[in-house]
Amino acid sequence: MKNTTKDNEPINNLDKIVSLCKRRGFIFQNSEIYGGLGSIWDYGPLGTQLKRNIKESWWNKMVLERKDIVGLDSSILMNPDIWKASGHLDNFTDPLVECQKCNQRWREDQLNKNCCPACSGELSEARLFNLMFKTSIGPVEKDSTPIYLRPETAQGIFVNFNNVTSTTRKKLPFGIAQIGKAFRNEITTGNFIFRTREFEMMEMEYFVFPGEDEKWHKYWINESLEWYKSIGINSNKLRVREHGSTEMAHYSKATADIEYNFSWGWGEITGIANRTDFDLKAHSNASGENLSIFDDKTNQHITPYVIEPSIGIDRTVMTLLLDAYNEEESINAKGNSEKRVFLKFDPEIAPIKIAVLPLSRNEAILPLSNEIYELLLKSKSINGSIDFDDSQSIGRRYRRQDEIGTPICITIDFDSLNDNSVTIRDRNTMLQNRVKIENLELSIIKKLNNIK
């Protein structure tokens, strides 16, 4: 077998990933039957499960396995005064130029020449364009109040700071984490799901003593990197890039991005910002509420500094798809060479953990196949989605499971009726071995723990 991709090289053809995602049910174009909606995507059955596995992995690592972090689920719609206090109404902008001929807008910092990329028309002077989606609330249009779809989940954490500290009695340092949707009226979109107008985020605000912020900033850069590695991302394709002084957000003392080496170059998948005490003090001043915490050691109230790891789930999905994509030449049952495509997902992340494959639809082996399927579904030791696939030839089904990243296939054949054994097939190596049905659960658990 000859592998056509290398660990330190990006996949050059993004079209292959986009095609696979639609063909196998990972990601679909939003509103496709009506011509679609630009840079908005829908997740199919496999994509939905992949996202769920990503979120569960992060939540387990950052919340359930720690005693210093709690969760929150704040609303998308918030009092518009919040966005004034946070600085988003004044500062959440991109410098845009407009073509005088076709009226398309472009980000000034992403143009290579002083003319329209679409029609070569003359461009206007740069103007700041706010990226927040504006809507209104209320039954009567003329009396309705303008509000905004949140561009980040962080502000919901800051305005609930007192509620969380009073109910959980957490002391510094501690964190508040949440997973949720955010919306940005991006002008420059593209590269599939890398930059979209609706997206999902995993964010945490970690509150620390002033003076300890730089130590914790480094800590959360490392923890974020380690999480990416734990879900199977190749560390050779990851790097940390510190922001320069001219590109940091208005609230930031220091920001570092974790970037992945995509086919078009390095791209941000996570930002870890030192937000100082900007947000808590801004909301304290604007609301009149004291958003501080009492420190028993100094016997005084302290406004904590905040370290924020912010992870884009959609970008993580794209990173996983690209990083897991493999092509190799193999020999089929007829002795012919063919290309095998497989997604080398870590079992923790794979949308389907196990596929149960009867050799055929023959009525003699279907009862045992269904029995094994039910056995695995009810197992308390095996977590994750299990597929049952009995359509087309066994070779085609193996290829289908390879292409969606299923680590293990269980095949039931006519010999199974006599020897009470089944075949376990490994996705990465395609090696097969027979195991007794009574030992199947233990064999699967061992194999899932060893597949990388």
Distances (CA, A) of 166 to 158, 169, 170, 291: 14, 5, 8, 11
Q: Identify the CATH class of 2-91+147-320.
A: alpha beta
pLDDT above 70 for 267: yes
Q: Which CATH superfamily is domain 352-450 in?
A: Anticodon-binding domain (3.40.50.800)
Name the pLDDT band for 161 (thresholds 50, 70, 90): very high
Q: What is the pLDDT of residue 3?
A: 43
Q: What percent of the chain lies above the pLDDT cut of 90?
A: 72
Average pLDDT over residues 149-171: 96
| Residue in 182, 153, 183 with CA at minimum distance from that of residue 71 | 153
Q: Which residue has the higher pLDDT, 392 or 94?
A: 392
Per-residue pLDDT, averaged over 325-330, amounts to: 89
The answer on pLDDT for 329 being more than 90 is no
Q: So what's the pLDDT on residue 297?
A: 85
How much is the average pLDDT of 397-403? 96
Any idea which of 132-146, 181-195, 287-301, 365-379 has the lowest mean pLDDT? 132-146
Residue 94: predicted pLDDT:
72
What DSSP element (H or E) covers 238? Answer: strand 238-242
Rounded to an integer, the average pLDDT of 149-159 is 96
> pLDDT value at position 22?
95
Q: Is the pLDDT at 119 greater than 80, yes or no?
A: yes
Is the predicted pLDDT of residue 63 greater than 90, yes or no?
Answer: yes
Q: In the prediction, which pLDDT does 330 show?
A: 76
Measured CA to CA in angstroms, residue 373 lies from 385, 440, 441 at distances of 11, 11, 11
- The residue written with tokens 């497989």 in the block is 342
In angstroms, the Cα distances linking 142 to 135, 163, 219 are: 13, 34, 50
Q: What is the pLDDT of residue 2?
A: 41
Helices (H), 231-333: 278-287, 313-324
243 close to 256: Cβ distance less than 8 angstroms: yes
- Region 223-241 average pLDDT: 96
Q: Is the pLDDT of residue 450 over 90?
A: no
Please indicate whether the domains covering 2-91+147-320 and 352-450 agree at the CATH topology level.
no
Phi-psi region of 36 (alpha: psi -120 to 50; beta: other; left: phi over 0): left
Higher pLDDT, 230 or 334: 230
Q: Which helix (H) or strand (E) holds 265?
A: strand 265-276
pLDDT over threshold 90, residue 216 = yes
Domain ranges of the chain: 2-91+147-320, 352-450
Round to whole Å and give the CA distance between 422 and 435. 6
